[in-house]
Amino acid sequence: MKDVLIALNKIKELGVIDDYAIGGAVAAAFYIEAVNTEDVDVFLFLSPSQNSLLLSLSPIYDALQRLGGVIDREYVVFGDWPVQILPAYKPLIEAAIKHAELVQYDDVESKIFSPEYLCAIALDTSRMKDFYRVATFIEQKKVDRKILDELIDEYQLGDKTLKVLNWNEP
Amino acid sequence: MKVINPALDFVIQAKANYRKVARAKTWEEKIESIVRMRNASTIAKKSMSRQPRKAKF
């Protein structure tokens, strides 16, 4: 994982990407207990020069390959970790990257989604495991309910909360 | 009415203890445990696919 974070920081420093943040189960594991996952979800803003109508991820894949990554289907693999590159494709994801939290993994600095954005994105994604993740955040009191409620209003996710079994718990 | 079932109590307690330990781990330790979970899952899937098929009569 350390190699992944070093590579991501490097391509940001080189200007290949504008910014990034880790989401999904790897980010959630920072706050709550770990669950199995196949890959690291890396959400990113492309550098301004790359923001054209024809969006291409090949400069990112090329840069990561030069830093030791191995391309395997849609992933770039570093050691044990396949990395999935996901451009910010909707306003909720863009906001999540902007409000990501700075964290340390060993001695490497990185950015991960905040608990509130992880929950909002999980509600938006709406798979069974996403509802379970939100329930776990609530159960372990790791999410600011006021901020999450604001995100739910802003991104119209209210109907999704009905599927979270412990949503009405304080 | 409280149901007395030592076996069930043992399982519930064991699971609660596991979760307590799992939550107390650092992010680095949790990431390592995800890799172990994934490897175990891969091995389990492979062994499932190698099960001999039952003969049809």
Cβ distance of A34 and B33 shorter than 8 Å = yes
Token pair recorded at residue B9:
């109590």
In degrees and rounded to multiples of 5, residue A145 shows phi and psi of: -65, -30
Average pLDDT (A145-150) is: 95
Q: Is the pLDDT of residue A8 over 90?
A: yes
Average pLDDT (B8-25) is: 84
Cβ distance of A37 and B38 shorter than 8 Å = yes
Lowest-pLDDT choice from A60-69, A72-81, A93-102, B47-56: B47-56
CA-CA-CA-CA torsion for A121, A145, B27, A57, nearest 10 degrees? 20
E-strand stretches of chain A: 17-23, 40-46, 70-72, 75-78, 81-87, 101-105, 108-112
d(CA A146, CA A143): 9
Chain B residues within 8 A of A105 when measuring between CB atoms: 27-28, 31
pTM of structure: 0.85
The number of CA neighbours under 13 Å toward the Cβ of A78 is 20
Q: With an 8 Å Cβ cutoff, is B33 touching chain A?
A: yes
Which residues does B54 contact at the CB level (< 8 Å), separation at least 6? none
How many other CB atoms are found less than 10 A from the CB of residue A61? 17
Picking from B28, B31, B41 by the largest number of A CB atoms within 10 A of its own CB, the best residue to mutate is B31
Q: pLDDT digits over A38-63, tens only?
A: 999 999 987 655 555 556 788 899 99
pLDDT-derived band of residue B50, with 50, 70 and 90 as boundaries? low
Tracing tokens 């776990």 back to the chain, one arrives at A136
ipTM over 0.90: no
Cβ distance of A33 and B34 shorter than 8 Å = no
Mean pLDDT computed over every residue of chain A: 91
Question: What's the pLDDT at A45?
Answer: 85
Chain A residues within 8 A of B25 when measuring between CB atoms: 33-34
Chain A residues within 8 A of B44 when measuring between CB atoms: none
Given a contact cutoff of 8 angstroms between Cβ atoms, the answer to whether A38 and A129 are in contact is no
pLDDT-derived band of residue B23, with 50, 70 and 90 as boundaries? confident
* 3-state SS assignment for residue A86: strand
